[in-house]
Structure 1
Amino acid sequence: MIDGYFIILLIIGVTTLLASFLPIVLKRFKISFTIPVLILGGTFYYLSVPLPWPDPTWDIDLTLHFSELVVIISLMVAGLKIGLNYSWKEWLNPLRLLGITMPLFMAVVFIVAYYVLNFSGELALLLAAVLAPTDPALASEIQLNKKQSESSKNLGAQYNLTAEAGLNDGLAFPFVYLAILWSKSDGLNSDVWLEWLSFYVLFKTVVGIIVGIAVGFLYSYFTTRLSEGNTHRIHLAFVALSLTLISYGLAEVLNSYGFLSVFFAGLFAHYHQHKNKTNNTGHPSLSFISNIEKFLIVFWMLFFGGSIMAGIMNFITVEIVVFSICLVLIIRPVLGYISLYGSKLSKRHKMAISFFGIKGIGSVFYLTYAIKNGEFTNTDQLFSIVALVILVSVLMHGLTAKRSMAAIEDDNTLIE
């Protein structure tokens, strides 16, 4: 009898090899590599390939930590690409998406979940918080494709989607905690609100940002001082991964938001090079950590495809199907466009930014985290809704992103 361990090794090798060549094959069809991998995962499950498939919902601990790793690596990639090359004025559009689109989106989800789907208050709030952030991992193909510079930087859809995804994964966390607190209490009384605002909003956010800035700043300072004449001795490939783990681990040890810390560490990792206007070779390697990101996404999508075949969406109703499709195709685009109404971006860029609010791995992390740490009941439908929203997002955005982004890049009209 063949050892299942060796079958798993074979599957990993074949899958990663296919993923390596998929961009060449898919270039002609202009679709995302996530779609074939999703189908492959469903096929593997159908063939009873011996992998740890969900049955039918995801294993909480395994899913929590795997999705967590994918998200923090994607956040570091986003932070390194943006750096400190954008002015406060150029950050206004991403902040519009965070300050207007995200809370309005959460309000719509909460109202529909509570009044139409008849969820309890804490479940409705959890669903709103879980679906609020856009995904830095699955959206990587429509975000910035290289490190930006002051002299040559993207100010359109790619930049705005990258900056939004980099920040909103951390800023959705306070609302996940509010739902957790609600699940453990009789209601949202004044004590719960005070604890939430003081600790989960103010303390954890501020400390997380400070930790990220400090880690990025210190790395930039010491590499500037120590790397002169010694750049060939620095293993740059590991630097970005190290910064990711250090900033995230330290922030979590200090009981703050590690997602925000990782993103800000990426932003400030080039602080002294940016300040001195030098191109020091001590920069963290983007290519290495970007490849790790894609490697992990391949296996996340593989298991996601298997989870669909395993029956993770068995708990949906017709109302949930309509609701999930509307979230991706109507609600996010409309609210995104409303938030950008006063900006000077061209109509085409506004429409692209509004439409490509991809939902993905971050939502899975938040859901599993809340279920593990809260006291929620009847959560099966939440798994189904999140899975369905991600599936609709992967298919719709995966089929349209490359064509749309190519058309936008060919259009030099950035400002109306």
Structure 2
Amino acid sequence: MFDPQDWYPDTYIVVLTGMGFLVALVAWLPLALKRLPLSLPIVCIALGAALFLIPRVPDKPLPVAFPDITERVTEFVVIIALMGAGLKLDRVFSVRHWSVTWRLLAITMPLSIGAITLIGAGWIGLPWIIALLLGASLAPTDPVLAADVQVGPPKTGEEDEVRFGLTSEAGLNDGLAFPFVNLAIALGLAASTGEPWALEWFTHNVLWEIGAGIAGGWLVGRAFGWLTFHVPADTKLSQTGDGLIAIAATFISYGLTEMIQCYGFLAVFVTALTLRHAHRNHDFHREMHEVTEQIERLAMMVLLLLFGGSLVSGLLTPLTWVEVLAAVVILLVVRPLAGLVGLIGLEATWTEKLTLAFFGIRGVGSFYYLAYGLNHMEVADGERLWAIVGLVVLLSILLHGLTVTPIMRQLDRSRGRDPDADDAIPPPGLQGPAA
């Protein structure tokens, strides 16, 4: 007789079934959540927490236990998101028209890094070098989880100043935050060996890695732009109709630029911008964006399921009320104030400036930078750092996920757009919320 207690399904079958449900959620949840004050990342974290509370799930997905896997998985998700972000920007690149981007990068991000470093060292009690690593990890706006406040797909016209500013900032600041991560690593190495660090850091980690990253990304973008749109008609890549070309460009751009030791994140975003510029009005950009978006959503959901599992496995255990209060200040004080300072003089309404300043979403990029830093320097209290960053990301997902729908819909209405119209553009990217 069949005894349910003796029935244990094969692990492979369980995983296969779970992946089926996951893919179905990837396709369906954004539409279901469109008008709700709820985001897809919140749902993913809740599902992950529920999954890893099941007694028969033995492994605890704590990042300190899997440092190399954590770095590589977060790296993969970020580079896919950067390609998608670059492809959907309609605005032509120029110093003048991208002024909001330069303000957020040149003023807001350094101010955020400095303020978080001060909080980490003076308030939380971290060593200055470790506090700098914390600041560099938590300062960048995330290109993955920030998709709810980004522009719509290519050629949709969903590109107001707020959405453009947050999309372009998220695309570029992941690459420009790296010098500060490398500064923390260089200072940590110098503290143990006593060797000079400043010249090497400035010439290699700043000048070379930024310059070569931009140049390498541009060259790969030009090559793919020519192959996709400008070779003889019978052989151009756009004739394939296969958006996987964008994934090929992502991996090649990242791989080649990392081989010459420069910032691959920056290179991928520049490649995407250059590829988009090769033929701005071609419909094939939509095909490429749709593929990157689908892969990004699936990878993001897997990562957030694991994050939810880590939360119920003890990720936040090392926290005290000091770290909790510091995390709240980082989200509600540091980024908004630094954002408003950076936007002084920008020709925008106060509503737009406040929205830009408020939606500095922290997420997968912060996980990557911390994992990279911890894998390249000696840190005695890695669990505590992971707890702080995990809490900031969790609070950001909850705070911004619950507020993005009403705020962005109100912003649309103030600009004369009806987010509930039948022809309204569906929510861009990973949302569920804002259109």
Equivalent residue number for residue 244 of structure 2: 238
**Equivalent in the alignment of 2:27:** 20
Mapping 1:58-207, distance limit 5 Å: 59-82=66-89, 85-148=92-155, 152=157, 154-186=159-191, 191-207=196-212
Structure 1 stretches lacking a partner, 5+ long: none
Q: Deviations over 1:361-416 (max 9, x none)?
A: 011111111111112222211000000000000000000112111111121289xx
What is the deviation of 1:88?
2.1
Question: SS of the counterpart of 2:9?
Answer: coil
Q: Tell me the percent identity.
A: 34
TM-fit CA distance, 1:191: 2.4
1:279 paired residue number? 282
Residue identity in the other structure for 1:268: T
Q: Which amino acid aligns with 1:81?
A: K
**TM-score, length-scaled by structure 2:** 0.89
Question: Partner residue of 1:9?
Answer: 16
C-alpha separation between the residues in 2 aligned to 1:367 and 1:382? Answer: 8
How many matched pairs?
A: 409
Aligned to 2:409: 406
Q: Partner of 2:297 in structure 1? A: 294
User: Once the 2 structures are TM-superposed, how far is the Cα of residue 343 of structure 1 from its aligned partner?
Assistant: 0.4
CA distance in 2 between counterparts of 1:156 and 1:84 reads 10
Q: Secondary structure at the match of 2:386?
A: helix
Is this contact kept in 1: 2:86–2:272, CA < 8 A? Answer: yes
CA contact under 8 A between 2:276 and 2:285: conserved in structure 1?
no
Q: Is the 8 A contact 1:63 1:368 kept in 2?
A: yes
TM-score normalized by structure 1?
A: 0.93
| Cα 1:280/1:141, change in 2 over 3 Å | closer
Is residue 29 from structure 1 mapped to residue 32 from structure 2 by the alignment?
no
Amino acid at match of 2:100: N
Tell whether 2:62 aligns with 1:50.
no
Which whole-Å CA distance do the structure 2 matches of 1:108 and 1:258 have between them? 27
Distance 1:16 1:185, change over 3 A: same
1:311-345, CA deviations, whole angstroms, 9 ceiling, x for partnerless residues?
Answer: 10011110110010111122111110121121011
The one-letter amino acid paired with 1:184 is L
Q: In 2, are the aligned partners of 1:56 and 1:311 still within 8 Å (CA)? A: no
What letter matches 1:64 in structure 2?
A: E
Match of 2:264 among 258, 262, 266: 258
Structure 1 counterpart SS, 2:405:
helix
**CA displacement at 1:216 relative to structure 2:** 0.6
Q: Check conservation: 2:316, 2:387, Cα contact below 8 A.
A: yes
Point out the more displaced range, 287-296 or 55-64.
55-64
Contact 1:93 1:343 (8 Å CA) reproduced: yes
| Worse-superposed segment, 203-212 or 83-92 | 83-92
| Paired position in structure 2 for 1:368 | 371
Divergent runs of 4+, >6 A = 187-190
| Matches of 2:242 and 2:67, distance apart in 1 | 34
Rounded to whole Å, the distance in 2 between the matches of 1:49 and 1:352 is 44
Corresponding residue SS for 2:243: helix
Write the letter of the residue equivalent to 2:272. G
Secondary structure of the residue aligned to 2:97 is: helix
The CA RMSD over aligned residues, in Å, is 2.2
